[in-house]
Structure 1
Amino acid sequence: MTTPSRAHSFNAAAAQYAANRPSYPAALLDAVEEITGRPLAGARVADVGAGTGIATALLHERGADVVAVEPGDAMAAECRRTIPDVPVIRGDGNALPLADASRDLITYAQSWHWTDTGRSVPEALRVLRPGGALALWWNTAAAEKPWVLAQNERIARHCGVGLPYGKRPDDGDAARLAGIADLDVTRRLLRWSRTVPLDVHLANITSHSAFLVLGKAGTRAFLAEERGHLGETFPDGMVQETYVVDLLVGTRP
């Protein structure tokens, strides 16, 4: 399945995505403010690949003048439903539907990896004001947890591809892989956790593209087996998901 097809697979599960995906800790936006040297309140922000608006809502709550940029029909509709006060613009990071030098900050929450950095980096630089910043972040599961490692192995066997939960690159590789090594880049790793019912954890896992392109029958087969594995690890039915938010902030000259 091609990368564009995988990226648009989320439209088939927009409500599932909105209800079960993890959010982000307050420390993340604190770090963005610290690194950029300005408060989010009043800042002109574009949240690109906004999906159902998980990060967009947090930016809005901080007082940012934020717009959501989202290519998918169902994801954009869910975003509008969740945060009706925020404009949702159809588009993606490879061709931003925004004016030159019009934004103080552009954010990509769990979405930068769907872009072509040969196009998305110049587009971000075009839209950012001088001194503006590009902030990219991902929730990555704490890979030292034995049950996470075992689950990743089962997912890889079942789907033929792992979820983005594995080993994080070192600082130099992080910027290079993100395509923003030529900017003034700062990286932070922020640890946090949430405790959720087993069904929420499983719905979160199966809202990833590896399962969405697998199909319902293949996903049902995984869930039947995985419920048993996790029931042994979490007999009370509550799963502690521990994340490390991998944050990269690149400042425009």
Structure 2
Amino acid sequence: MTAVPRAHSFNKSAAQYAASRPSYPAALFNVIEELTGRPLAGARGADVGAGTGIATALLHERGVDVIAVEPGHGMAVQCRSALPAVPIVRGDGNALPLADTSLDLITYAQSWQWTDTERSVPEALRVLCPGGALAIWWNTTAFDVPWIAAQHERIAHHCGVKPRSGTRPNDSDAIRLAGLRGLPVTRRQVRWSRTVPLDTHLANISSRSAFLVLGETRNRAFLDDERTRMRGNFPDEMVKETYVVDLLVAARP
């Protein structure tokens, strides 16, 4: 399965994505302020691949003068509905619809992997002011939680993809894999949890791109089985999900 159909698969499930996907902890934005050496309040920023605006909303709440950049129609409609005060432009990280040296901060929450880094890195550097920063992050799997690791294996098998390794790449490999070699980059990891109804947990699973490109009947059978398993772990049907936010902050020289 190619990346392009998977990247655009979110548009048909934008409302489900907005309702079920995890957000990000306040500590993440504290770390971004620490690593950039400036407060978020008053910064000029763009959240690229903004989706339904989960990270955009948090940046806006922290006082960033933020623009949402989103290529997908369905996701952009959902973002505009949720954040009417935030400007939204259609575009992606490979060709940012933004002026040269116009921003202090560019963020990618769960979306950097959909870009071609040979294009998106130069584009970020073009748009950032000297001393500005590119911050990219992902909510990643907490493999040290047994039920989460086991579920990850089942999901990968169902979707026909290779399970991720439980060993995280070292800093050098993470920077290389993100296409950021040659830039001053700092990496941090922030652990956090949320507790949600079982229905929300299952909707979060089925909002992933690898699920969305599969048939509905096949997915329904998997989710029914997963509901039964999760009731064994969480009889009250309230699921504690644990994440590790993997953050890379690259400074523009």
TM-score by length of 2: 0.97
How far did residue 164 of structure 1 move?
A: 6.6
Stretch deviating more after TM superposition (215-224 or 104-113): 215-224
Going from structure 1 to structure 2, the CA distance change for 1:185 and 1:37 (only over 3 Å counts) comes to same
How far did residue 54 of structure 1 move?
A: 0.2
How far did residue 215 of structure 1 move?
A: 2.4
Deviations 1:121-151 (CA, angstroms, capped at 9, x unpaired): 0000100011110000000121111111111
1:26 aligns with 2:39: no
Partner of 2:179 in structure 1?
179
Q: Which amino acid aligns with 2:205?
A: I
Partner of 1:245 in structure 2?
245
**CA contact 1:152–1:162 (8 Å) conserved in 2:** no
**CA contact 1:46–1:103 (8 Å) conserved in 2:** yes
Deviations 1:70-105 (CA, angstroms, capped at 9, x unpaired): 000000000000010000000000000000001100
Secondary structure of the residue aligned to 2:156 is: helix
TM-score by length of 1: 0.97
Partner of 1:45 in structure 2?
45
Going from structure 1 to structure 2, the CA distance change for 1:81 and 1:167 (only over 3 Å counts) comes to farther
Unaligned runs of 5+ in 1: none
How far did residue 216 of structure 1 move?
A: 1.2
What is the CA–CA distance in structure 2 between the aligned matches of 1:82 and 1:162, rounded to whole Å? 35
What is the CA–CA distance in structure 2 between the aligned matches of 1:123 and 1:246, rounded to whole Å? 22
What is the CA–CA distance in structure 2 between the aligned matches of 1:18 and 1:164, rounded to whole Å? 25
**CA contact 2:8–2:72 (8 Å) conserved in 1:** yes
Secondary structure of the residue aligned to 2:196 is: strand
Going from structure 1 to structure 2, the CA distance change for 1:84 and 1:162 (only over 3 Å counts) comes to farther
Partner of 1:109 in structure 2?
109
Partner of 2:61 in structure 1?
61
What is the CA–CA distance in structure 2 between the aligned matches of 1:196 and 1:226, rounded to whole Å? 15
How far did residue 160 of structure 1 move?
A: 0.4
**CA contact 2:44–2:105 (8 Å) conserved in 1:** yes
Deviations 1:15-43 (CA, angstroms, capped at 9, x unpaired): 00000000000001111111001111110
Going from structure 1 to structure 2, the CA distance change for 1:82 and 1:165 (only over 3 Å counts) comes to farther
Which runs of structure 2 are paired with 1:65-80 in the superposition (5 Å)?
Answer: 65-80=65-80
What is the CA–CA distance in structure 2 between the aligned matches of 1:109 and 1:239, rounded to whole Å? 23
Going from structure 1 to structure 2, the CA distance change for 1:163 and 1:8 (only over 3 Å counts) comes to farther
Moved >2 Å (runs of 4+): 162-168
Deviations 1:200-233 (CA, angstroms, capped at 9, x unpaired): 0000011000100012112101111111111111
Partner of 1:170 in structure 2?
170
What is the CA–CA distance in structure 2 between the aligned matches of 1:226 and 1:159, rounded to whole Å? 14
Partner of 1:192 in structure 2?
192
Partner of 2:209 in structure 1?
209
1:144 aligns with 2:141: no
Percent identity at matched positions?
72
Going from structure 1 to structure 2, the CA distance change for 1:163 and 1:25 (only over 3 Å counts) comes to farther
Q: Let me know the Cα RMSD of the aligned residues.
A: 1.2
Going from structure 1 to structure 2, the CA distance change for 1:202 and 1:249 (only over 3 Å counts) comes to same
Partner of 1:133 in structure 2?
133
**CA contact 2:141–2:149 (8 Å) conserved in 1:** no
**CA contact 1:108–1:137 (8 Å) conserved in 2:** yes
Partner of 2:98 in structure 1?
98
Secondary structure of the residue aligned to 1:67 is: strand
Aligned residues: 253
